[in-house]
Every structure is written in C-alpha cells, then in structure tokens.
Structure 1
Amino acid sequence: MPPRLFVDGPLPSAGASFALPPTAARHVQVLRLQPGDALVLFDGSGPEWSATVTAMGRQSVEVEMGLPSPAQRELTQTVRLAVVMPANDRMDGVIEKATELGAVAIQPLMSERSVLRLSGERADKKRQHWRGVAIAAAEQCGRSRVPEIAPVLSLAQWLGALPPLAAGEARAVLSPTATPGLAALARAELVTTLSGPEGGLSDAEIAQACAAGFAPLQLGPRILRADTAPLAVLGWLALQGLHG
C-alpha cells in the first residue's frame, strides 16, 4: 500500500506538478522513496488523491497529482469527545486512538480535580502537538479527515458556551454512579460525550453538565481510567455503526 501523507492546504487538480510542503517532503525522504514511487495525499477535505514522485532534491520533493477518490472511512454518526485531560501525557494516547476510532472533534478540558492544567503559550503548544498526533494517526489508519483539536478550556467555560441540545443530538456525561444507557447514543446523529479526570467529576460538575443537556451514563461495573472511558464509548459506537 502506498504511504499516506497529510498536506495542510488545498491540493491541486489531477495532472498538476506539486512541490510537497516541508513536513510531507521530510516523510518522503525518510521513507527513501524514489521518482516513480506512488503516494496517497489528503488535505482533510474528504477525498484522497493518488500521486507519483517525479523529482527528489536534498530538501524538496515534486509529485504529479493523480485523480481524487472518495474515502468512505468515517463513522455514520458525528461523535465529539470532551475530555478532562488525564496526566502524564496520556492525552496523546486519547488523541491517537480517538482519531483511529473516528471522532470528528476533541475538546481538552480542565475541571476541579484536574492534575494537568494548561494555559497560555503552554496550552497552545500542547494543542499543536496534539494536532500532530492526530495527523499521524489519520495517515496511519486511512482516514482522510483529521479531527479538530479545540483550544483548552475549563469545564465551566465549555459548558457555558454550548448551544441548546439539538434535534438528533445526544449528550452523555460518564459517571460510575449512573445507570447504563449506551443504546440511546446509537440512535443519535450527533453524539457528544464528557468524561472526567483521574478523580472523576464532582457532583456539582455533573449537575452543571446535566443542566446543559447531558445524561449521566455508566459504562459497567468496573472503574475505567480517565484515558480509557471516552475511548470505550467511541469504540462501541464505531462497532454499532459497522454492524448496524
């Protein structure tokens, strides 16, 4: 299978000669591709394009664009994850696996019991890093859309800015003291899940989420880690779409 590379910007039409941007060109150099070798390029707009390497320089790579083709690898539902960031770089794993499983957007949050707290330049750098993680995961798994990584917000800020619950939308806040109810999520067109940090969301935060249209949801008798719980829901939804 030809290597898949993300290009940040609109790709030209079939037959055009195109100089790959620096990041994609470095990947081609690392892979030791040669003129005549095939690539697959995508820019996040939906399709993917075949391409052929035509020239290699020390730091530049020229390709000839082929025809675009639809990439039917997205979930049948639109699923967004709002995740109170786990500590110790575990958010990297959440971003990577959520991309593989089909999330369209990931909202990093801070709550009362957050261990990881980010603001200012540090938050901006982390967001750019997570976007890179998402791009790499999309290249690997075959997706032609890269999930949106939203700016870091406090839970209160995010909840306060949410619009009213829309028709066909389901919102769930994960709580070990709630009752199971995954089946209701499978019937929604748009699903937004909210999951807490290592110490969980406080009762007051769960109440705030419920006031914003979230229904408490339990995932079973075991307590899942902060980086496992949102992925468990997403994986279940992905499988329901595959078999439903």
Structure 2
Amino acid sequence: MRIPRCYLDHPMATGQEIPLDERTHRHVVQVLRLRAGAPLILFNGQGGEYTATLVQAERRASRVRVEAHAPRDTQPPLPITLVQGISKGDHMDFALQKATELGVSRIQPVISQRTVGGDNEQRLAKKMTHWLGIIISASEQCGRNEIPHLLPPQPLEGWLSEYGATPDNPDLGLVLDPMAPSNLTDITVKPASVTLLIGPEGGLEEREIGQAIHVGMRQARLGPRILRTETAGMATLAVLQALWGDLGSCRHTIKEP
C-alpha cells in the first residue's frame, strides 16, 4: 500500500511527537480513515522528508511520532517563475496544480486586462488560501519536498515595471504569444533561470505583450496551435524542463529496444 505523504508546516526532529494541523488531520483521519500505527511520510519544506507513525487518531485530534529523516532532494535545478494571468475557477486550479508538478519555484498571479473579477480584494484573499491548498496537495501527490512560493496577486503592469527595473538581469523572460516570430525551441543558450508569462482566458492584449517586450521579455510561440491558458503553461513548462531542467535526465534512462 502506498504510504500517504503530508505537508506539515511545523519544525520536525527525530523522536518528536507533534499534532497534525486541521487540514492534515481531516485528510488522514476523516478521508483516508487511518488509525494509530499507520505509517506516514511528512515534509515541511525545509529540506528532505521524514518517516512517521500515526500515534493518535481521534475524531477531533491526531498526533504523529517522527521516526527518521531522509535527505531526499527534489529541488528543481532550473528556477522557473510562472507569472500566470488569473483565470476563472478550475482553469486556474489546473494551471497551478500542473505547474507545481512540473517543478516551478515561484508562482506570481497577475491581473491583466482580460482578467475577470481581479478588482475584488476580499475574493482574491479567499482565492489565495484556495490556491495554496491546491499547491500543497499537488506537492504531496507528486513527491516534492518543497512548496512553490505563491506570491500575492498584483496588476500585470506593476509586475512588469518591477521586472524591468532590475539591471543586467540574467533571467530569461518569456511571454507566450501564438503570433511570435520564433518558436520556444529556437532558444539554444541554457538560461540561469526562466520567468514565464502566461495570459488568462483570451490571452494578453497586444499592448501588454508590447510592454513585456519593452522590459526585456522575449516573445515565443509553442507550435502552430493556440492553447488554452491552463494548457499553455503546462506545455511550456514541460518543454523548458525537457530542454534545461530535470525532465532532460529522462533521456539517459530510456533503453533502446
């Protein structure tokens, strides 16, 4: 049986007994219906993971005993920041989930001209809590031991001004545009890091793409088809990781028939 992985925002040390937070308790005891004695794998984003045993599993509270630390490094070798135009409902959830699985380091939600409902601060605060839950769950599922840093939403124009204000930035800034003159795979020099800008439903306006180019970002297209916002990020991240990240190592492990 597969051992459940759980993120727990708590310092951990071998032999320590710690309580599970409400989210993890609900998942372990109420959803999975685990009982005392069940094994778990815990991580707190501070490096590696821990084997643990559930020692208390009651209706309203549960505790685990930390057994041993395994210094398994899952940090992606290519730092990628996804700047995602806020999209509606499941589209945004899907984009964040797959970005986490594909190894992004940071996620910056932005409000562009075609973002719907981006001016409601209370709604955005609730969305941040929801999005963080999506990211944590994806990290638990895919085996990451660190959580991508979710930054507070901000207007695209403000984010672009901050990006352009950094002199001699070695970062490769990419704005995905189906009308771009060159393909993503035309880039031949491996970057130190990548920042990827993806528009919401309906894409970025031409003026916004122009602003991105003005601050040093590079237009790139991904094949001959126009992709939905949640597909565009996933596909581009997969290509970036295959070219310069940890997906590229797959080719060394595939045996010829």
Using structure 1 for the length normalisation, give the TM-score.
0.92
Structure 2 unpaired stretches of 5+:
250-257
Alpha-carbon shift at residue 199 of structure 1 (Å): 2.4
Matched, 1:57 2:58: yes
Q: Counterpart in 2 of 1:158? A: 159
**Deviations for 1:68-98, whole angstroms, at most 9, x for unmatched residues?**
1123333220111111122343101001111
Partner-residue secondary structure (3-state), 1:161:
helix
Letter in 2 for 1:169: D
For the aligned residue pairs, the C-alpha RMSD in angstroms reads 1.9
C-alpha separation between the residues in 2 aligned to 1:141 and 1:87? 24
C-alpha separation between the residues in 2 aligned to 1:66 and 1:166? 47
C-alpha separation between the residues in 2 aligned to 1:165 and 1:134? 31
Q: Counterpart in 2 of 1:190? A: 193
Q: Counterpart in 1 of 2:179? A: 177
Alpha-carbon shift at residue 37 of structure 1 (Å): 1.4
Write out aligned runs for 1:67-216 (5 A).
67-162=68-163, 163-164=165-166, 168-178=170-180, 179-182=182-185, 184=187, 187-216=190-219
Letter in 1 for 2:115: S
C-alpha separation between the residues in 2 aligned to 1:150 and 1:94? 15
Partner-residue secondary structure (3-state), 1:81:
strand
Q: How many pairs were matched up?
A: 243
Work out whether residues 164 and 213 of structure 1, in 8 Å CA contact, stay in contact via their aligned partners in 2.
Answer: no
Letter in 2 for 1:75: P
Matched, 1:220 2:223: yes
- Structure 1 stretch displaced more, 77-86 or 53-62: 53-62
C-alpha separation between the residues in 2 aligned to 1:57 and 1:197? 43
C-alpha separation between the residues in 2 aligned to 1:73 and 1:50? 16
Letter in 1 for 2:238: G
Letter in 1 for 2:237: L
Using structure 2 for the length normalisation, give the TM-score.
0.88
Work out whether residues 76 and 105 of structure 2, in 8 Å CA contact, stay in contact via their aligned partners in 1.
Answer: no
Alpha-carbon shift at residue 34 of structure 1 (Å): 2.0
Work out whether residues 20 and 61 of structure 1, in 8 Å CA contact, stay in contact via their aligned partners in 2.
Answer: yes
Structure 1 unpaired stretches of 5+:
none
Q: Structure 2 vs 1, CA of residues 101 and 17 (structure 1 numbering), >3 Å: closer, same or farther?
A: same
C-alpha separation between the residues in 2 aligned to 1:183 and 1:24? 44
**Deviations for 1:120-175, whole angstroms, at most 9, x for unmatched residues?**
11111001100001111111111111112221211101112224265542100111
C-alpha separation between the residues in 1 aligned to 2:188 and 2:23? 38
Aligned identity (percent) is: 37
C-alpha separation between the residues in 2 aligned to 1:88 and 1:73? 29
- Structure 1 stretch displaced more, 169-178 or 17-26: 17-26
Alpha-carbon shift at residue 197 of structure 1 (Å): 2.4
Q: Structure 2 vs 1, CA of residues 180 and 147 (structure 1 numbering), >3 Å: closer, same or farther?
A: same
